[in-house]
Amino acid sequence: MADPSPQPPPSASTQLPLQPLQQLAALTELETPSVAPSVAETETSGPTATATPELISAPSPAVSYTIIVPSFSAWFSWDEIHDTERRLLPEFFDGKSTSRNPSSYKYLRNAIISKFRSQPTSKLSYTEARRGLVADVGSVRKVFDFLEEWGLINYTPPKKGKEETEARGALGKKDESSGKRICTSCGAVCSLQCFTTAKANMTLCAKCFVKSNYQRPGLSSADFKRVDLLEEPRPDWTDKETLHLLEAILHYGEDWKKVAEYVASRPVKDCIARFVKLPFGEQFIGPKEEHNGYTEQGGGDADENESIKRRRLSPLADASNPIMAQVAFLSAIVGPHVAETAAQAAVSALSNLGANEATDLTEPCVSETNEELDEKLYSTPCCSVNGCGSDLSNCRDYHRRHKVCEAHSKASIVLVGGQEQRFCQQCSRFHLLSEFDGVKRSCRNRLDLLNFRRRRPQSEAVNTSLSSASHQDSAVGEPVVSAELEIEEEEQELEKSFSDIIEVQMKEMQEKLVRFEEMDVIMARERLQVQYLRDLILPDQLAIAQHQHRLAMMARENVSTWEKLRSTNDVIDRGTTLLL
């Protein structure tokens, strides 16, 4: 690899706290042949400046790829050891240990860097690096950490500046092609599935995996994970393609092969998936009718969609509510247009009925509610609970509108009008206590409605219309008030769910605390046990020490007796010689 000669004044732009030397020099231009125009923005203001990488082109023979080295590591060269290295890895250069010497350092450094550069796109892990190196793992780790910190390995330039995009363009293409999953053993492009193993960083196509053609026999089939690639190459559908798709569907109906042919670039499954996901019904924001869901979907696109959509509607027919089932069934049979007109007629009839019945009541009601609304918003009301005349001008609109202070809106029992009541958060009024289950803050009717509504989101519109039709309180002719009610309901739901979440988390914490306490107890017990064991061993140790002591004593005695014998021997000898 051709590396440029080390740039004389290395830039001081560095994020590392390790560099004590203050070599301030602005590297504004490089004389090296670079692929992109050199970066002119080099900040040299000091240690807080971010590093701006510059391009040092080092094309390797096999792949024309630019290895990018940050400017603060421009001193690097293959054949020499720079001062920086000497300073930062002193243990290799001080001669204290024999296995760490300059030549071994160089060997390690060059080996690691060449290993990284053989596969510049993938990050070289420490374990991979130390595998092929003959050295103790501590030294490898030191060199590896040093190189990684200085960006000589595992370095990808940060994404900023137009000059970078060019470099990244070159990089990116390589990435994409490598992201397209080329099998490492046979080199084919894996389209359907590939099998990856993290242990050796390999990707095999299905054929090679079946053949068990692993590069390294240390791997077994269990090490491989399967990755399905069907979803991966999925660029977005352009408008043109969508148009083609729709035309094709119009022509060919459900013959997906022909449709895929017509839409040039997409396989069959993509076509189907895209078609199913096409948005419908934005054009059809009609009044909330019974068959709203169905008509939206049915009328939104070409008629050929009907057959498919019908199949998707069958879940609607599976309604526990027998009326809904009937309705869905009938509408499915009859067809969208007829159903639409029928529904419209039905609803208008209903509303007329409702209006007629309640004309006497609704009109003053309407006017009353309007008045009340005005009152509540613009005057300073008081809470309607008996005995609580708190001023509500500081509370939210909601409280003012319904004439209840915050405390009493959440109280379980309040006295209103001489009766025990509770404020229902859904209806936003007081109900008799008997209407509530337990400590719930919404009356039974509303809760049932809610749960029912929640269980069937696609017939939500239907239910609200049905329920509103059946609830004589809010007749069909008051959409505004019902909308407001629903908004408030949503708010309440949100608050409730928040408090639920918090409760659950608190419970979690409590349980953790309990468990930790238990662990503490266990630890204390074990500590006691260990101490006990230690105490047990103590007498044995003492016995051994005594024994040894005794042995030593005996040995000394032996020696002394021996000495005595020797001396007596001497005396006897001398005596005999004297005698003789």
40-79 footprint of other proteins as x/- string (CB under 8 A): ----------------------------------------
Is residue 97 within the footprint of other proteins (CB under 8 A)? Answer: yes
Give the residue, chosen from 198, 276, 333, 338, that forms a contact with other proteins under the rule CB under 8 A. Answer: 198
Q: From CA 409, how far away is CA 385, in angstroms rounded?
A: 10
- Count how many Cα atoms sit within 13 Å of the Cα of residue 192 in the half-sphere of its side chain: 6
Give the residue, chosen from 35, 135, 170, 366, that forms a contact with other proteins under the rule CB under 8 A. Answer: 135
Is residue 258 within 8 A of residue 252, CB to CB? The reply is yes
Q: Which helix (H) or strand (E) holds 228?
A: strand 225-228
Question: Which residues share a beta bridge with 421?
Answer: 414, 432
Is residue 125 within the footprint of other proteins (CB under 8 A)? Answer: yes
The CA-based diameter of the chain, rounded to the nearest angstrom, is 162
Give the residue, chosen from 61, 218, 417, 539, that forms a contact with other proteins under the rule CB under 8 A. Answer: 218
Binding part of the chain for other proteins, among 10-18, 93-101, 235-243, 342-350 by CB under 8 A, reads 93-101
Q: From CA 431, how far away is CA 445, in angstroms rounded?
A: 11
Parallel, antiparallel, or unpaired for β 54-55 and 225-228? unpaired
Give the residue, chosen from 222, 285, 537, 579, that forms a contact with other proteins under the rule CB under 8 A. Answer: 222
Is residue 52 within 8 A of residue 13, CB to CB? The reply is yes
Binding part of the chain for other proteins, among 135-143, 235-243, 336-344, 503-511 by CB under 8 A, reads 135-143
Give the residue, chosen from 82, 86, 106, 141, that forms a contact with other proteins under the rule CB under 8 A. Answer: 141
Please name the residue that has the structure tokens 């005996």: 554
Is residue 261 within the footprint of other proteins (CB under 8 A)? Answer: no
At closest approach, how far in Å is the CB of 523 from other proteins? Answer: 17
DSSP state of 424: E
Is residue 328 within 8 A of residue 313, CB to CB? The reply is yes
Give the residue, chosen from 75, 126, 262, 284, that forms a contact with other proteins under the rule CB under 8 A. Answer: 126
C-beta closer to other proteins: residue 185 or 390: 185
In sequence order, what DSSP letters do the residues of 164-206 get, joined into one string? HHHHHHHHHHHHHHHHT-B-TTT-PBP-SEEEEETTTTEEEEH
User: Roughly what angle, to the nearest 10 degrees, separates helices 102-118 and 137-149?
Assistant: 60
Contacts with other proteins: how many residues (CB under 8 A)?
Answer: 27
For 111, the token pair is 């080996």
Give the residue, chosen from 216, 240, 277, 311, that forms a contact with other proteins under the rule CB under 8 A. Answer: 216
Binding part of the chain for other proteins, among 71-79, 130-138, 296-304, 403-411 by CB under 8 A, reads 130-138
Q: From CA 88, how far away is CA 388, in angstroms rounded?
A: 76
C-beta closer to other proteins: residue 195 or 294: 195
At closest approach, how far in Å is the CB of 138 from other proteins? Answer: 4
In 10 A of CB 562, how many CB atoms? Answer: 10
Would residue 46 be called left, alpha or beta, if left means φ above 0 and alpha means ψ between -120 and 50 degrees? left
Please name the residue that has the structure tokens 């035309």: 247
C-beta closer to other proteins: residue 80 or 91: 91
C-beta closer to other proteins: residue 144 or 150: 144
Is residue 138 within the footprint of other proteins (CB under 8 A)? Answer: yes
Give the residue, chosen from 20, 217, 322, 417, that forms a contact with other proteins under the rule CB under 8 A. Answer: 217
What separation in angstroms does the CA of 551 have from each of 59, 362, 452, 561?
Answer: 78, 115, 92, 15
C-beta closer to other proteins: residue 199 or 251: 199
Is residue 134 within the footprint of other proteins (CB under 8 A)? Answer: yes
At closest approach, how far in Å is the CB of 59 from other proteins? Answer: 24
At closest approach, how far in Å is the CB of 211 from other proteins? Answer: 10
Is residue 106 within the footprint of other proteins (CB under 8 A)? Answer: no
Binding part of the chain for other proteins, among 13-21, 209-217, 276-284, 410-418 by CB under 8 A, reads 209-217
Question: Which residues share a beta bridge with 422?
Answer: 431
C-beta closer to other proteins: residue 178 or 212: 212
Binding part of the chain for other proteins, among 95-103, 287-295, 403-411, 450-458 by CB under 8 A, reads 95-103
Q: From CA 450, how far away is CA 62, in angstroms rounded?
A: 66
| Residue among 455, 462, 468 nearest 295 (CA) | 462
At closest approach, how far in Å is the CB of 84 from other proteins? Answer: 23
- With a CB cutoff of 8 Å and minimum separation 6, the contacts of 293 are 316, 458, 459, 461, 462
Is residue 280 within the footprint of other proteins (CB under 8 A)? Answer: no
At closest approach, how far in Å is the CB of 106 from other proteins? Answer: 13
Is residue 226 within the footprint of other proteins (CB under 8 A)? Answer: no
Binding part of the chain for other proteins, among 210-218, 422-430, 453-461, 477-485 by CB under 8 A, reads 210-218
Is residue 195 within the footprint of other proteins (CB under 8 A)? Answer: no
Look up residue 510 and give its amino acid.
Answer: Q
In sequence order, what DSSP letters do the residues of 276-337 get, joined into one string? HH----TT------TTHHHHHHHHTS-TTHHHHHHHHHHHHH--SSHHHHHHHHHHHHH-HH
DSSP state of 443: B
Give the residue, chosen from 17, 20, 61, 132, that forms a contact with other proteins under the rule CB under 8 A. Answer: 132
Question: Which residues share a beta bridge with 414?
Answer: 421
At closest approach, how far in Å is the CB of 216 from other proteins? Answer: 5
Give the residue, chosen from 41, 80, 94, 136, that forms a contact with other proteins under the rule CB under 8 A. Answer: 136
Taking only Cα atoms into account, the Rg of the chain, rounded to an integer number of angstroms, comes to 43
Is residue 192 within the footprint of other proteins (CB under 8 A)? Answer: no
Is residue 133 within the footprint of other proteins (CB under 8 A)? Answer: yes
Give the residue, chosen from 87, 160, 180, 199, that forms a contact with other proteins under the rule CB under 8 A. Answer: 199
Is residue 401 within 8 A of residue 371, CB to CB? The reply is no
152-191 footprint of other proteins as x/- string (CB under 8 A): ----------------------------------------
State the residues that interact with other proteins by CB under 8 A. 97-99, 125-128, 130-139, 141, 198-199, 212-214, 216-218, 222
